[in-house]
């Protein structure tokens, strides 16, 4: 893009005093990771891409389904029909409205073994995940590496967000020392309003822009845990201005989640599905299609292979990971995987 086109394209942001020409250049040089590209991740990615953040790394383990379209604003019916991985669909759809930025899609499940590689070279991490296991993993990584991250979550009509600037303010483990367990409301159990998603995504994306711009903009980075209910209008802010000295992560620097504890090998996706990742060899989709077609309906594109065997639906990724829909029973999912995919 020529300098003139750049100025024209982002003129309304350059006019805004908090950004200006220099701030816009810093956004263009910015490298952001969006971890999880569901509802919040889609909204954040879309806003930051339009705002001209130069590099967006979009990391997601899942594929697009019709039930996502109510709130996951980066995807369309064609993406769902093709079961495109969300990271790939996001990159394609962003390219249609901002082809001048770089989008790096990563179809992977963030885990202790790959988190450093997934987030390498990133300036700010944005939370688009749907689970606390991954959030505590990111918090450990961010605190250990000194990379800022923005926690953001939405469920029902409620959104919550907080900025973590390691060493400067509280981290996620300062505020919530224990990972929420047991019955945690998810959008599968409590539903979700797209407006709650957009509210929290707007706040989180703005905070990320301030972090990328730096300088005076940093003075305006919020130092509270902010929550808002778009239905009842209840809202709350609690101070997160200072790290807790005895915090496991930022105080004692004990990074248990990074070490791989507290994360089972098989993850529940929080819906009627189980994720299996037990095989270390990549899968040849053409060969797998041949093998499976006598057992049920099967089709594949370059990104996913889908196999239907009533009442289950298995989605396989090239690295051997699978999402098995139609059960929450890990035993059932494992035996299906062992029988049809093998080890
Ligand atoms: Zn802490």
Distance, CA 139 to ligand 1 centroid (Å)?
9
Contacts 24+ apart (CB under 8 A), 26-30: 26/212, 26/213, 26/214, 27/51, 27/52, 27/53, 27/54, 27/209, 27/212, 27/213, 28/52, 28/53, 28/54, 29/54, 30/54, 30/55, 30/123, 30/124, 30/212
Between residues 39 and 272, the one the model is more confident about: 39
Q: Which residues contact 100 (CB under 8 A, 6 or more apart)?
A: 1, 9
- Tens digit of each residue's pLDDT (9 = 90 or more) over 135-152: 999 999 999 999 999 999
Integer Rg of the chain from CA: 20
Tens digit of pLDDT for each residue in 100-122? 999 999 999 899 989 999 999 99
Residue 92 has pLDDT above 60, yes or no: yes
Separation between Cα atoms, residue 246 and residue 257, nearest integer Å = 17
Rounded to an integer, the average pLDDT of 314-343 is 88
Q: From the CA of 201, how far away is ligand 1's center (Å)? A: 23
Rounded percentage of the chain residues whose pLDDT exceeds 90: 78
What's the rounded mean pLDDT across residues 151-173?
96
Average pLDDT over residues 62-77: 92
180 CA to middle of ligand 1, Å?
16
- Does 38 score more than 80 pLDDT? yes
Cα 183 to ligand 1 centroid, rounded to whole Å: 24
Give residue 262's pLDDT: 45
Interval between CA 176 and ligand 1 midpoint (Å): 9
| Whether residue 269 lies in the annotated active site | no
| pLDDT (average), residues 249-278 | 77
The H or E element spanning position 309 is: strand 305-309
Give the model's pLDDT for residue 132. Answer: 87
Whole-number average pLDDT of the chain? 92
Tokens representing 238 are: 């609690």
CA of 46 to the centre of ligand 1 (A): 30
Which of the residues 37, 174, 187, 250 is marked catalytic? 187
Q: If you average pLDDT over residues 31-55, what whole number do you get?
A: 97
Query: Rounded to an integer, what distance in angstroms lies between the CA atom of residue 285 and that of residue 282?
Result: 9
- If you measure from the C-alpha of residue 120 to the centroid of ligand 1, how many angstroms do you get, rounded to a whole number? 22
């Amino acid at each position: 893009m020529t300098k003139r086109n750049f100025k024209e394209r982002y003129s309304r942001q350059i006019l805004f005093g908090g950004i200006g020409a220099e701030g816009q250049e810093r956004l263009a040089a910015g490298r952001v990771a969006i971890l999880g590209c569901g509802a919040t991740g889609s909204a954040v990615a879309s806003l930051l891409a339009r705002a001209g953040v130069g590099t967006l790394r979009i990391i997601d383990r899942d594929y697009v389904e019709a039930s996502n379209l109510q709130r996951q604003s980066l995807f369309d019916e064609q993406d769902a029909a093709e079961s495109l991985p969300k990271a790939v669909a996001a990159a394609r759809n962003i390219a249609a409205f901002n082809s001048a930025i770089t989008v790096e899609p990563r179809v992977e499940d963030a885990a202790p073994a790959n988190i450093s590689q997934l987030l390498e070279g990133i300036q700010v991490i944005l939370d688009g995940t749907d689970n606390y296991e991954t959030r505590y993993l990111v918090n450990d990584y961010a605190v250990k590496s000194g990379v800022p991250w923005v926690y953001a979550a939405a469920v029902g009509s409620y959104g919550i967000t907080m900025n973590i600037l390691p060493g400067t303010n509280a981290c996620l483990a300062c505020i919530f020392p224990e990972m929420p367990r047991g019955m945690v409301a998810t959008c599968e159990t409590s539903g979700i309003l797209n407006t709650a998603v957009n509210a929290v995504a707007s706040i989180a994306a703005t905070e990320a822009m301030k972090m990328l711009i730096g300088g005076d903009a940093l003075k305006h980075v919020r130092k509270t845990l902010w929550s808002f209910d778009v239905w009842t209008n209840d809202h709350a802010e609690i101070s997160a201005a200072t790290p807790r000295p005895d915090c496991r992560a930022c105080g004692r620097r004990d990074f248990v989640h990074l070490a791989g504890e507290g994360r089972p090998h098989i993850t529940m996706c929080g819906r009627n599905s189980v994720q299996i990742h037990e095989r270390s060899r990549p899968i040849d989709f053409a060969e797998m299609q041949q093998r499976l077609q006598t057992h049920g309906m099967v089709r594949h594109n370059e990104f996913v292979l889908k196999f239907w065997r009533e009442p289950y639906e298995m989605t396989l990724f090239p690295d051997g990971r699978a999402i098995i829909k139609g059960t929450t029973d890990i035993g059932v999912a494992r035996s299906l995987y062992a029988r049809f995919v093998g080890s």
